[in-house]
Amino acid sequence: METDSQIAHVLHDEHKRIMTLMKRLEGIARGSWGSTVPDIADDDIASLLTDLDTELAGASEHHFQFEEVKIFPALIAVGDVTVPYLLRQEHDLLRNLSEFMIPSVELARRQGFTADSWSEFRDLALELAEKHISHIQREEAAMLPALQGLFAEQRDDELVTQYAEA
Ligand SMILES: [Fe+2]
Ligand SMILES: [Fe+2]
């Protein structure tokens, strides 16, 4: 990604990380197990569930809040209103989906999947992965390029530190 903004690079790296997780989730939900209900004793399934739990219970929320508190207001201040408005709506949709997904993930980690719980999990997982991936694509196309030159160097450095701290 070509930008001088260090915080844009940090957010881009986070997007890549979340995107990789969502693609893993999508791969499993789309049927890398064929018609079989996945076994939580399988290493790939166990690590996917652990990573999803961490992501949905905290990491994504940290990322969303940082964008809402530190990035969107800076864009709005220079008259860029539509992009933050749409992105904020997508955050709320993703939060809502995560809220329903977390109990499914936790139940699966404790008890494994039945045919029914797997079917429900798979539907939610596909919805979550699709919405998350399209959200990230929108930010990569419309938000990160707008950060070029938006923050003075010192402020840009401060934002990088603040992202790492919370
Ligand atoms: Fe976002
Ligand atoms: Fe983001």
Q: Which residue has the tokens 């919805």?
A: 127
Amino acid at 108: A
pTM of the shown model: 0.93
Q: What residue numbers bound the domain in which 27 lies? A: 6-165
Ligand 1 (ion): residues with CB under 5 Å are 67
CA 143 / ligand 2 centre spacing (Å): 9
- pLDDT tens-digit profile of 79-138? 999 999 999 999 999 999 999 999 999 999 999 999 999 999 999 999 999 999 999 999
The domain total for the chain is 1
Q: Is 82 a domain residue? A: yes
**CATH classification at residue 53:** 1.20.120.520
- The ligand placed nearest to the CA atom of residue 17 is 2
- pLDDT tens-digit profile of 51-77? 999 999 888 899 999 999 999 999 999
Q: Is 102 a domain residue? A: yes
Q: Is 1 a domain residue? A: no
Q: Is 90 a domain residue? A: yes
CA separation for the pair 160, 31 (Å, rounded): 38
As given in the structure block, the two tokens for residue 16 are 């890549």
